[in-house]
Amino acid sequence: MKSFGYAAQSKTSPLTPFDFERREPNPDDVVVSIEYSGICHSDIHQARDEWGGSIYPMVPGHEIVGKVTAVGSNVSKFKVGDLAGVGVIVDSCRVCENCKADAQQYCVKGAVETYNKLDYTGAPTYGGYSNNIVCHQAYVHTISPKLDLAAVAPLLCAGITTYSPLRHWKVGPGQKVGIIGLGGLGHMGLKFAHSFGAHVVQFTTSESKIDDAKKLGADEVVISKDAAAMAKHAASFDFILDCISAPHDINAYLGLLRLNGTLCLVGLPETPLSVAPFSVVAFRRSLAGSGIGGMQETQEMLDYCAEKNIVADIELTSYDKLAEAYERVIKGDVKYRFVLDNTTL
């Protein structure tokens, strides 16, 4: 199938128009005409090969929403014209214990990511900065028409990546929960933790984001550069979600966990973080991590958002401003997720 989008040709080249082929739909496939695509910081890490192993040309984008334009003969979940969403993975083995436990992102065979991966036939995958996508129905999600479609796009990565750990660690009423970094992931983590009934403290390096953090649901906001403000929260948190995209001192946050508290990393800085043993040995603390979420769990999150009227706060942008959007994301200067409008493709 003929497709077109924007691709990085190398780790130093800007994204430019790119024509490519997608597979013809198989009986279990859904074809989605993409209307909006969120810009995740992972797109930037990978386009610039900050994690290593990037495959070029690369069409980034894994926060995809649009309309179904064709379905294979086995597809019952969708019909032409339905709204649909695709997130970070487009395939997995479907038979390993993790796939069977709705943890396809941890597939033992290795899940196939939406871009910057080879699928099980060895063909490169291309993401959402493009006009369409072909995807097995098991990895395509139903989207409620109740919500603003552009603002739903970021739920497919930023949404599920924060929802999943908050659910896994059973965040709820009576708990003190911290969210570190008010970016795309952080602002969704803040909305969910608040919605689940926890007392939420937002950590930020940006004084300009204090008022927004409160509007988004923070009970308290701490400027993380202020050592005295940090010290006031020592050993008091049940759970902290670390959404920072760049290297930082994690010990400063581990020290804020109470007995048996957990700090979960979702941010993926390009270099290792150093952990002082005393930071975790004291108060029997846990340092954990979490990647996106399972397919059923992603649908559960989308349905929860439709019920509670939760979407991302977005800045719509156009393909001719991609380079500028990337620079602004790196500076932490976006409120709070860029979404590409495909009418500009």
Residues that bind ligand NAP (CB under 6 A): 40-42, 45, 157-158, 161, 181-186, 204-206, 209, 243-246, 248, 266-268, 291-292, 329, 332
Output the smallest distance, CB 48 to Zn ion, in A. Answer: 15
CA 83 to chain centre: 20
Quote helix, strand, coil % in the chain, to nearest 5: 30, 30, 40
| 15 vs 68 by CB, closer to ligand NAP | 15
How many whole angstroms separate alpha carbon 264 and alpha carbon 343?
Answer: 37
Could you tell which of Zn ion, ligand NAP, none binds residue 92, using a CB distance below 5 to 8 A set by kind? Answer: Zn ion
Output the smallest distance, CB 83 to ligand NAP, in A. Answer: 22
Radius of gyration, CA atoms only, the chain: 20
Output the smallest distance, CB 145 to ligand NAP, in A. Answer: 26
Q: Which residue is nearest to ligand NAP (CB)?
A: 183
Could you tell which of Zn ion, ligand NAP, none binds residue 345, using a CB distance below 5 to 8 A set by kind? Answer: none
| 40 vs 198 by CB, closer to ligand NAP | 40
Q: Which residues bind Zn ion (CB under 5 A)?
A: 40, 42, 92-93, 96, 99, 107, 157
- CA distances (Å), origin 238, targets 53, 62, 82, 167, 320: 36, 31, 41, 14, 44
User: Within a 13 Å sphere around the CA of 255, how many CA atoms are in the beta-carbon half?
Assistant: 14
Contact between residue 304 and residue 279 where contact means Cβ atoms under 8 Å apart = no
| 39 vs 306 by CB, closer to Zn ion | 39
Could you tell which of ligand NAP, Zn ion, none binds residue 206, using a CB distance below 5 to 8 A set by kind? Answer: ligand NAP
How many whole angstroms separate alpha carbon 121 and alpha carbon 307?
Answer: 39
Output the smallest distance, CB 44 to ligand NAP, in A. Answer: 8
Beta-carbon count within 10 A of 16 CB: 13
